[in-house]
């Protein structure tokens, strides 16, 4: 069974440029999460989807961040424009509603904003 796939693994951009991250969850997992992880810290939830509906986006900075999950499968997280403080690892995870709390993570997308 394929795991959670994220791309790109690494991205370096200049500040004020846009950037997008893509995630393909485990097949059959209805719940999809985007987390932000700064160096040496735990993950911070940005947004959680149940199928195609964003059920928790209270921590998403909506002035510059946006996300979508078309057809309830793949998801894209976008930042526009990026700021220096956005440099971090963006993690995608998915889970099955029958096993809440049991998240399967991708390898993450490391963003560096110069």
- 28 pairs with which residues across the strands? none
Burial 64-76 (b: 16+ CB within 10 A, else e): ebbbebeeebebe
Verify binding: residue 42, another protein, rule CB under 8 A: yes
Verify binding: residue 82, another protein, rule CB under 8 A: no
Q: Are 92 and 9 in contact (CB under 8 A)?
A: no
Closer residue to another protein (CB): 61 or 97 = 97
* Rounded Cα gap, residues 114 and 107, in angstroms: 22
Distance of closest approach, residue 17 Cβ to another protein, in angstroms: 25
Of 17-25, 36-44, 62-70, 75-83, the window that binds another protein (rule: CB under 8 A) is: 36-44
Among 23, 43, 60, 77, binds another protein (CB under 8 A): 43
Verify binding: residue 107, another protein, rule CB under 8 A: yes
- Give the N- to C-terminal CA distance of the chain in Å, as an integer: 37
Contacting positions for another protein (CB under 8 A) = 4, 31, 40-43, 45, 48, 56, 91, 93, 97, 100-108
């Amino acid at each position: 069974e394929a795991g959670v796939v994220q791309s790109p693994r690494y991205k370096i951009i200049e500040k004020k440029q846009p950037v997008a991250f893509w995630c393909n969850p485990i097949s059959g997992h209805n719940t999809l999460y985007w987390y932000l992880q700064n160096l040496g810290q735990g993950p911070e939830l940005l947004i959680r989807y149940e199928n195609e509906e964003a059920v928790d986006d209270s921590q998403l900075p909506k002035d510059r961040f946006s996300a979508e999950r078309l057809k309830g499968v793949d998801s894209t997280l976008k930042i526009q424009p990026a700021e220096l403080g956005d440099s971090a690892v963006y993690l995608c995870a998915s889970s099955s509603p029958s096993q809440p709390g049991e998240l399967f993570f991708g390898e993450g997308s490391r963003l560096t904003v110069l």
